[in-house]
Amino acid sequence: MDDTSAILLVALVGGMAAAAVRLPPLLGFLASGFVLFAMGVEEVPALDTIADLGVTVLLFGVGLKLDVRSLLRREVWLTASVHMAFTTVVGGLLVGLIGLLGFAVLDDAGLRTWLLVGFALSFSSTVFVVKYLEERSASRSLGGRTAIGILVFQDLAAVIFLAVVEGHPPSPWAVLLVLLLPGAWLARRALGALGHDELLPLFGVVLALVPGYALFEAVGLKGDLGALVVGTLVAGGPRAGELAKSLFTLKDLLLVGFFISIGLGGLPTPGELVLALLLLLLLPLKTLGFAALLWACGLRRRTSGMTGIALTNYSEFGLIVAVAAAHLLADGWVTVLGTAVATSFVLASLPGRHPEYLVRALRRLLPIRKPEQLHPEDRPVDVQHAQAVVLGMGRVGSAAYERLRDEYGLSVIGIETSRDRADRLNAQGFEVLEGDATDPDLWERVSTGSDVRIVLLAMPFHGNNLDALGRLKAEGYDGTVAVVTQYDEDLAQATRAGADTGFQLYDGAGTELADRAAESAQLPPTSV
């Protein structure tokens, strides 16, 4: 068996093993990389290419969902800048204290080494955080938007650092990047003219790699940053969301190479492993720092805690910083930081989709605020006057909302994580609030002192519907809970979990199509 076949087979087995014990498959891919290295399998050149492609397409997809205005919000720029400075200093102090234990890599290390390592540890992984948010369908929530904004600021700081350390400032030709503005207008027009076939994801990949990655690299800037910028410029197009969805599976497949390549980077020596594990002591301080800063900016304790947990990991950018500053660091730091990054991914994955116990611990450390003192977009959602609540206001949820309101005369409220979609539906006459379906406070209000008779779970990610169903049952809600699913096995699972009724997405499509055809043909209904 050649190295390529071994990599594919071990990656598949590792991912399946992780999924079998209900851990994210990426942990299996990370472990696969270390197993492959121990087996003596060498990294094939194509793997690096696949890993780079995955990261580039990921950042392009982030740009497609990014609202540039969010970067100017206080909770983004203030949190990102203060936290980076805080983590750099505290991380440097931690490295200095660890140096007292006599590690060889820290021999003759001074303040410069301490601060460089602290700076490398201050980044959070864009790849890991975005995948974490997407798995929870939270990338468009207030916490998700804030986390992505913080990641973008960190990426910009890394670009500036690399330009200074490497002594290669951007080319004077970089000023011509302003031409991307009219170019983005043309790209949006071309996107609108495309069909829904394979041309759509191909168009996205070309945008990410050519005017994004290749063009920025040509003028002395990071290609990954270029993919992010081009994605952001195209985000104004009406089909940007569809383009992002078309790239979803391709991006996840390519990112397998990224996680395997971390493990194939090599196994640490026992001393390097111990040092990497000691560096993980900084992670709880990173969590507390993010949560406290976001709380200080007006976010609720739960939102602050959830966002802080999402950002609690080390970043692949830390490795890039270490490589760029290799002449300033002792040999061995790249391996140490690589091990710390991989281990931080493992720890960050352990809470899975249910980090509530960590959020509860963080909430005890942050004082309670009155609702009027909170961020306007993060105040408690009031549903007590509604008779029906629809979670997830996509096409299915919106249609269900209209049916309950117009045909059954119910007072209905929709809850949606995407602020843009909520604003658009409110302008169309719906009553839609921005909120988090997994928020225990929301379900406590639904179950206590409210008139809510029906809760309809129509979120696109089945895991979120199950989470909301579990919250309702835990709060003792005795009304009707209905759920929409895409697959029969998901509907069966929701029914076992306590849903009163449900609907497989395609069950009624044929009936509805026949009804519309008969109505259009003016066929009278017949009685049986």
Query: Which segments of the chain belong to CATH 3.40.50.720?
Result: 386-520
- Range list for CATH 1.20.1530.20 in the chain: 48-363
- In this prediction, residue 89 carries a pLDDT of 94
Q: Which long-range contacts (CB under 8 A, 24 or more apart) does 429-432 make?
A: 430/393, 430/398, 430/401, 432/393
* CB 212, CB 226: distance < 8 Å: yes
User: How large is the angle between the packed helices 45-64 and 199-207, nearest 10 degrees?
Assistant: 100
pLDDT given at position 354: 65
119, 308 in Cβ contact below 8 A?
A: no
Specify the pLDDT at position 528: 47
Task: Please report the pLDDT score of residue 237 as a whole number.
Answer: 74
pLDDT computed for residue 69 by the predictor = 78
Q: How far apart are the C-alpha atoms of 175 and 172, rounded to whole Å?
A: 6
Alpha-carbon distances of 319 from 24, 32, 201, 342, 474, rounded to whole Å? 23, 20, 30, 11, 44
CB within 8 Å of 474: residues ≥ 6 apart: 443
3-state secondary structure of 396: helix
CA dihedral 323, 326, 328, 329 (to 10 degrees): 100
Q: Give the 3-state DSSP-derived string for 21-48, with helices as H, strands as E and coil as C.
A: CCCCHHHHHHHHHHHHHHCCCCCCHHHH
Q: What is the DSSP letter of 481?
A: E
Q: 10 Å Cβ neighbour count for 1?
A: 8
CATH for the 48-363 domain, from 3.30.1330.10, 3.20.20.80, 1.10.3470.10, 1.20.1530.20: 1.20.1530.20
Residue 142 has a pLDDT of 83
Task: Select from 377, 375, 59, 448 the least CA-distant residue to 234.
Answer: 59
In whole angstroms, what is the distance from residue 405 CA to residue 36 CA? 58
For the chain, 528 residues long, the average pLDDT of each consecutive 10-residue run is 83 88 78 86 81 84 79 90 94 88 73 88 87 76 87 83 71 85 87 83 90 88 84 82 82 82 77 89 94 92 89 83 72 81 84 71 82 78 82 88 90 85 89 76 60 86 82 82 88 89 77 75 68
- Bridge partner list, 83: none
The pLDDT value given to residue 443: 64
CATH number of 386-520: 3.40.50.720
